[in-house]
């Protein structure tokens, strides 16, 4: 786990964070890790931070203590991240719009919404059993239903939308970097914008 309390690194340079939001299975973690590698930023997955702090996998935490506890842990993680810049942050798919820290994070960050067709999300998710809110046995209808409940929330926050249904991880990361560079003034833009993809990785 990275040290999210640290104030060194990018803080003084004021490099904007990139925050990845979107439904489960949209590629936030895998694209986030790739972006971090390409841009030499640090990657933080809020779910992983929560797991680390509580010592419980998210599925267990939700089952044992419920969503309220999950929410408060998520708020604490986001609060700590507000002090940092130059990060790639992936936030769990069930965004809490009441979370004031999310609003504050938005001020210093470029928010990217990763999207995918419901069928694609379903195919990606059915292989795993780590998303309790989808139920033990996710169905395409459940994915569609949750997606329609959440789409508005995601879109309200997004500065840029990217459909990951049919792109590789590297392609997705490159598109985000391009957009980030267009929108954000970087102190060292050269190193970032010169990046070229070298792998064909499916999300
Ligand atoms: C959830 C998404 C998960 C995790 C939890 C709940 C959701 O994160 O926070 O299982 O309801 O969308 P990912 O979006 O990273 O899978």
Cβ(102)–Cβ(11) below 8 Å = no
Q: Are the beta carbons of 140 and 122 closer than 8 angstroms?
A: yes
pLDDT at 156: 94
Residue-range domains of the chain with CATH: 11-187 (3.40.50.300)
Q: Tens digit of pLDDT for each residue in 147-194?
A: 999 999 999 999 999 999 999 999 999 999 999 998 875 445 444 443
Largest CA distance in the chain: 48
Identify the three-state secondary structure at position 137.
Answer: coil
Q: Is 58 in the pocket of ligand 1 (CB under 6 A)?
A: yes
pLDDT score for 21: 98
CA-wise closest residue to 99 among 63, 70, 62? 70
pLDDT of 198 above 90:
no
Is 51 a pocket residue for ligand 1 (Cβ < 6 Å)? Answer: no
Its pTM stands at: 0.85
Nearest CA to ligand 1 atom 2: 93
pLDDT at position 8 is 42
- State residue 20's pLDDT score: 98
Nearest to 82 by CA among 50, 99, 106: 106
Q: Indicate whether residue 47 lines ligand 1 (CB < 6 A).
A: yes
- Per residue in 104-139, pLDDT (tens digit) is 999 889 999 999 999 999 999 887 766 766 666 778
Would you say the CB of residue 22 lies under 6 angstroms from ligand 1? no
Q: What are phi and psi of 157, to 5 degrees?
A: -90, -20
72: which residues sit within 8 A by CB, 6+ positions away? none
More confident residue, 195 or 150: 150
What is the pLDDT, as a whole number, of residue 137? 74
Residue 134's pLDDT is what?
Answer: 65
Q: Give pLDDT tens digits for 48-101.
A: 999 999 999 998 999 999 999 999 999 999 999 999 999 999 999 999 888 899
Q: Which of 46, 47, 62 to mutate to test the pocket of ligand 1 (most atoms within 8 A of CB)?
A: 47
CA of 148 to the centre of ligand 1 (A): 15
Please tell me the residue having the least CA distance from ligand 1 atom 3: 92
User: What is the reported pLDDT for 197?
Assistant: 38
pLDDT value of residue 108: 85
């Amino acid at each position: 786990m990275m040290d999210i309390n640290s104030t060194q690194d990018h803080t003084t340079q004021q490099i904007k964070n990139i925050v990845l939001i979107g439904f489960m299975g949209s590629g936030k973690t895998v694209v986030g890790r790739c972006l971090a590698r390409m841009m030499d930023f640090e990657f933080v997955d809020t779910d992983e931070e929560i797991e680390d702090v509580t010592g419980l996998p998210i599925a267990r935490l939700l089952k044992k203590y419920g969503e309220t506890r999950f929410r408060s842990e998520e708020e604490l993680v986001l609060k700590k991240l507000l002090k940092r810049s130059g990060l790639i942050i992936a936030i769990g798919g069930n965004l809490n719009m009441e979370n004031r820290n999310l609003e504050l994070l938005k001020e210093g960050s470029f928010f990217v919404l990763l999207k995918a067709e419901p069928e694609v999300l379903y195919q990606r998710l059915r292989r795993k059993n780590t998303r309790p809110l989808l139920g033990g046995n996710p169905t395409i209808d459940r994915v569609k239903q949750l997606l329609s409940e959440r789409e508005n929330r995601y879109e309200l926050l997004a500065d840029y939308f990217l459909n990951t249904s049919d792109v590789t991880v590297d392609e997705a990361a490159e598109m985000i970097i391009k957009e980030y560079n267009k929108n954000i003034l970087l102190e060292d833009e050269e190193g970032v914008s010169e990046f070229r993809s070298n792998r064909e990785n499916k999300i």
